[in-house]
Amino acid sequence: MSAVDRRAKELDTIAAVLPMDRRDELAELLTDQDVETLRHLVNQGMGENTLRALASDLTYLQAWSLAATGSSLPWPAPEGLLLKFVAHHLWDPEKRLTDPQHGMPYGVEQKLRDQGFLRVTGQHAPDTVRRRLATWSTLTKWRGLNGTFASPTLKSAIRLAVRATPRPRKRKSAKAVTGDVLAKLLGTCRTDSLRDVRDRAILMVAFASGGRRRSEIAGLRTEQLTVEPPIPVEGGPPLPSLSIHLGRTKTSGADSDEVVYLAGRPVVALNAWLAAASIDSGSVFRAIDRWGNVSRRALGPKAINDIVKLRVTLAGLEASEFSAHGLRSGYLTEAANRSIPLPEAMEQSRHRSVQQAASYYNNANRKGSRAARLLG
């Protein structure tokens, strides 16, 4: 068995935890030590999203090193290679117009693009470069080695490069999915087809549970759901209710068990999906193939974002203006529009930063303020 075949077989053993749709290509790209590192991380019980990000960054770094130097990444990496990485990814667009060699060389860029590792045009986002350098540093430490990632020269190079490549800060979702927008998206889920039933549940649960992150919705399992006593309603039937145990979240402590509650229509929509898909254990939201068969594997976070954008398009809105994060910002914006007290909304959204959550309230209040209606 060749080294490539051996690595491919070893990658198969972690594919269930760390989904890989390019196994054969990765087997050629990664080294034996890289594969062993990934296996070690899986066995350490690291979060799935963190594992995916680390594996993605490691793969890109190896592809870049092979394209730029003709060799795999050295461990530890010399400072000169780290500076080369920064120079290839953060550069001045205006200087590139007069100096084609400025930034990433064309040959390196084209090779990465042909392999599918480079999709952006122009320089990279500074945050992406910093994240990949942080991953590189972390992997170096896990190998028991010391790198030069904290060197003043590297820090200065990054600072100067970022200053030379100004980029406007973009929000994760240009527009919030507020109540009126959500109604339009739900209006595209009119049939009893599995996809419509599933997508209706995803939209309603993600929004009503406080604007859950797409990773939280993708990773939701039936074991996290607890049926709660119905909520009495004056003059009407009681509302079905359930709690969602989020466990450890992006903003919670390591030992925290975050809990949010659903009542009414979102619970009905969720129960309808679980019944239609015959799901009584495991992942809640799953893929559906072209023949209408429900997969046993959970949807990924990207699939949640794709579903939101598809429903936006079907509703006649501009997909580029919305994303799954719009459900999170939309929940707080809608809460502000309905004059729900900020602390009460934060109990559901689980925002820990009052300043961040309050920004949605401030924006909502400013739109209707007297200062905005001087000529109204």
Query: 298 φ, ψ to 5°?
Result: -70, 155
Share of the chain above pLDDT 70, in %: 78
Of 107, 102, 77, nearest to 87 (Cα)? 102
User: How many CB atoms neighbour CB 277 within 10 A?
Assistant: 18
Residues 257 and 339 in one domain: yes
- The boundaries of the domain holding residue 310 are 179-370
User: How many CB atoms neighbour CB 187 within 10 A?
Assistant: 12
Residue 272 pLDDT more than 90?
yes
| pLDDT (tens digit per residue) in 97-144 | 788 788 888 899 999 998 888 877 777 888 888 999 999 998 898 888
Share of the chain above pLDDT 90, in %: 38
Collapse the DSSP code of 146 into the 3-class scheme (helix H, G, I; strand E, B; otherwise coil) and give the result: coil
* Domain presence at residue 169: no
* Domain presence at residue 324: yes
Q: How far apart are CA 88 and CA 64, in angstroms?
A: 10
pLDDT at 373: 46
Residues 142 and 221 in one domain: no
Q: How far apart are CA 376 and CA 364, in angstroms?
A: 17
Of 322, 316, 323, 288, nearest to 302 (Cα)? 323
Number of structural domains the chain divides into: 2
* Domain presence at residue 183: yes
Residues 120 and 11 in one domain: yes
Q: Return the CATH number at 231.
A: 1.10.443.10
**Max avg pLDDT among 155-164, 198-207, 350-359:** 198-207
Q: CA distances (Å), 201 to each of 156, 225, 252, 257, 356, in order? A: 49, 14, 25, 23, 27
Residue 227's beta-bridge partner residues? Answer: 242
* Domain presence at residue 375: no
The domain boundary, picked from 164, 198, 221, lies at 164
Stronger pLDDT, 122 or 258, i.e. the higher one: 258
* Domain presence at residue 213: yes
Residues 186 and 160 in one domain: no
* Domain presence at residue 323: yes
Q: How far apart are CA 154 and CA 160, in angstroms?
A: 10
Name the pTM for this structure. Answer: 0.57
Residues 18 and 120 in one domain: yes
* Domain presence at residue 64: yes
Stronger pLDDT, 29 or 258, i.e. the higher one: 258
| pLDDT (tens digit per residue) in 276-335 | 999 999 999 999 988 889 998 889 889 999 999 999 999 999 998 999 988 988 888 888
Per-residue pLDDT band for 358 (boundaries 50, 70, 90) equals low
pLDDT at 364: 56
CA 357 from chain centre, in angstroms, equals 20
Residues 189 and 152 in one domain: no
Residues 190 and 101 in one domain: no
Residues 133 and 185 in one domain: no
Residues 43 and 112 in one domain: yes
Per-residue pLDDT band for 86 (boundaries 50, 70, 90) equals very high
Residues 215 and 359 in one domain: yes
The domain boundary, picked from 111, 137, 164, lies at 164
Residue 59 pLDDT more than 80?
yes
**The two three-digit tokens of residue 148, written as one number:** 């030069």
The domain boundary, picked from 109, 141, 164, lies at 164
User: What's the whole-number average pLDDT of the chain?
Assistant: 81
* Domain presence at residue 123: yes
Residues 225 and 104 in one domain: no
Residue 298's beta-bridge partner residues? Answer: 286
Residues 60 and 185 in one domain: no
